[in-house]
Amino acid sequence: MPIAHDFVGKVAVVTGGGEGIGAETAMQFARAGATVVIAGRTAPTLERTASAITSQTGSGCIGMPADVTDEQQCILLVDQVLTRFGRIDVLVNNAGGARQVPIRQFRTDKYLAEFDLNLHSAFYCARAAASSMMAQGCGAIVNVSSLAGVFGTMGVAPYAAAKAGLQMFTRVSAAEWGPRGIRVNCVAAGLIATEKAKAKWARTGFDEGQAVSGFALRRAGMPEDVAQAILFLAGDGASYISGETLVVGGGPQLKGMIDVD
């Protein structure tokens, strides 16, 4: 059974909330009683997801289109949420993505765009939301990173570097903003079987079974695995946790020198 979370009366904002981990996270917040705002670039996707969440949970969920790689759109997003609801209790910086290109073939503009999406967007949104959180004396920010930012992954160098930067931004912002009541934590997601990921695996011939054979838990993660970790870090159960990165990756991937049962 999932951990029982209580976000009744809280307002949660989830970037990249139209699909995948973001949509599942928004669903879980709504089930826990929160009013949820999902942000993303594609309005029809946001509308479909928000409608589904509202109908399935009975909690309010609305979509607010925003390109979070644009600083001004992040500021406008936060202003719109505050105007409509008067507060932001939780911010989940989930927007992200990676191009699979070797370093020597990476175009400079595409390389920089990876940082805009995976690192700078979190800075823009967190900074915009921090003032209102400080004014209310509390708030929780959860940044969504990746195992690529912990261990590195060849073929996605700027993504890995940006996600590593996101983890350090988490630590520093937690230290700066903690005295004002804001907790900042991070989730580093491993191999997660979102619908988009599964479609990509099918196109490229990626062998999921082979990939997970080295995981302690022998399976890919599901969006709800990451969502539950996010809710934990955003909730009262993690009230004395800040500046940390929680790995959600299926356990240690260790090789041994003998066979074990």
pLDDT tens-digit profile of 2-29? Answer: 556 899 999 999 999 999 999 999 999 9
Q: Does any domain span residue 44?
A: yes
* Pairwise pLDDT comparison (252 vs 141), residue with the higher score: 141
The region that residue 9 occupies, defined by phi over 0 for left and psi between -120 and 50 for alpha, beta otherwise, is: left
pLDDT of residue 3: 55
pLDDT reading at 169 higher than 90: yes
Q: Would you call 69 exposed, middle or buried from its count of C-beta atoms within 10 A (0-12, 13-18, 19+)?
A: middle
Does 2 reside within a domain?
Answer: no
How would you label 89-116 residue by residue, b for 16+ Cβ within 10 Å and e otherwise? Answer: bbbbbbbbebeebeeeebeeeebebbbb
pTM for the full model?
A: 0.94
pLDDT for the residue numbered 213: 86
On whether residue 260 sits in a domain, the answer given is: no
Report the distance separating Cα 220 and Cα 211, nearest Å.
8
Active-site residue numbers? 159
- Report which of 255, 96, 99, 123 is spatially closest to residue 189, judged by C-alpha positions: 96
Helix (H) or strand (E) holding 14: strand 11-15
Q: In the predicted model, is pLDDT for residue 141 greater than 80?
A: yes
The mean pLDDT of the chain is 94
pLDDT of residue 1: 43
Where would I find the H helices in 138-257?
A: 148-151, 157-177, 195-204, 208-212, 223-234
**CATH code at 90?**
3.40.50.720
User: Which residues touch 172 (CB under 8 Å, ≥6 apart)?
Assistant: none
Task: For residue 4, tell me if it sits in a domain.
Answer: no
Whether the pLDDT of residue 259 is over 90: the answer is no
Residue at 220 is within a domain: yes
Q: Give percent of the chain with pLDDT exceeding 90.
A: 84
| Better-scored residue on pLDDT, 168 or 256 | 168
Q: Please choose, from the candidates 242, 220, 187, 224, the residue with its C-alpha nearest in 3D space to the C-alpha of residue 5.
A: 224
Rounded (10°) angle between helices 223-234 and 20-31: 50
Domain range enclosing 242: 11-248
Residue of 144, 151, 189 lying closest to 167 (CA atoms): 144
pLDDT digits (tens, 9 = 90+) for 79-116: 999 999 999 999 999 999 999 999 999 999 999 999 99
Q: What is the mean pLDDT of residues 57-78?
A: 97
What DSSP element (H or E) covers 37?
strand 35-40
Look at residue 101 and tell me if it is in a domain: yes
Q: 196-233, pLDDT tens digit by residue?
A: 888 888 888 888 888 888 888 899 999 999 999 999 99
Asked if the model's pLDDT at residue 52 lies above 90, the reply is: yes
| CA nearest neighbour of 14 among 172, 141, 174 | 141
User: Domain for residue 244, yes or no?
Assistant: yes
Percent over 70 (pLDDT), the chain: 98
For the chain, what is the domain count?
Answer: 1
Rama region for 97: left / alpha / beta (φ>0; ψ in -120 to 50; rest): left
253, part of any domain? no
> How far is Cα 223 from Cα 2, in angstroms, rounded to an integer?
13
Query: Running DSSP on this structure, what letter comes out for residue 119?
Result: I
Q: What is the rounded average pLDDT of the residues 159-163?
A: 98
